[in-house]
Amino acid sequence: MVDRAWLLSRFYRVAYQAARVYWFFVHPNKRGVKCVITRGDEVLLVRHTYGDRRAWELPGGSIKRGEEPLAAARRETLEELGLKISDWVALGDFFAKHEHRADTLYCFHAVVDDVSPVADRVEIAEARWFSSATPPLPTGRFVRRILSMSEGAASRAAG
């Protein structure tokens, strides 16, 4: 019997490659969220089952049509990690071109107590806590930039 999560994760890999071909020709404008989730001096990072599967990324994903960025952050962390987080702080947004797409990424930060994420095995190969000061290598393209946005927000709040 084939494991459903294993089969779907393979589908995601193929779909991601097909999307990259589409992006190459169409150059779409996309909107997404990235979520900095911290507990103490640790940050939660994930490795996806598609794309660069070695890279550690911040949780997040695409914003659905008509969805507000904050709602997308809440939905993505619930879907990908089984975490229901309601108290988010907006860190800001930025525009980036990546893989032939034009992305606007909305970034959010949440502080949690001792929680254990339950990774959705279809999208997330692994979810782990790491020191915010020294995230593992390799990290995704925007991880360090977004973590510095989070540190800047914390410094402004403390000062």
In tens, the pLDDT along 29-65 reads 789 999 999 999 999 999 999 888 999 999 999 999 9
pLDDT at 155: 57
Query: What average pLDDT is seen over the chain?
Result: 88
3-class SS letters over 46-72: EEECCCCCCCEECCEEECCCCCCHHHH
Query: Of 143, 142, 119, which Cα lies nearest the Cα of 132?
Result: 143
CB 111 within 8 A of CB 39: yes
pLDDT at 9: 85
pLDDT at 48: 94
Report pLDDT digits (tens) over 59-97: 999 999 999 999 999 999 999 999 999 999 999 999 988
Strands (E), 6-144: 29-39, 42-48, 60-62, 89-98, 101-111, 124-131
Whole-model pTM: value is 0.85
Report pLDDT digits (tens) over 96-142: 887 777 889 999 999 999 888 999 999 999 999 999 989 999 999 89
User: What is the count of structural domains for the chain?
Assistant: 1
Q: What are phi and psi of 41, to 5 degrees?
A: -100, 20
Q: What is the CATH number of the domain that holds 50?
A: 3.90.79.10
Residue 110 structural domain: 4-158
Tokens of 50: 């598609």
Cβ-proximal residues to 89 (8 Å cutoff; 6+ apart), any chain:
108, 109, 110, 153
DSSP 99: T
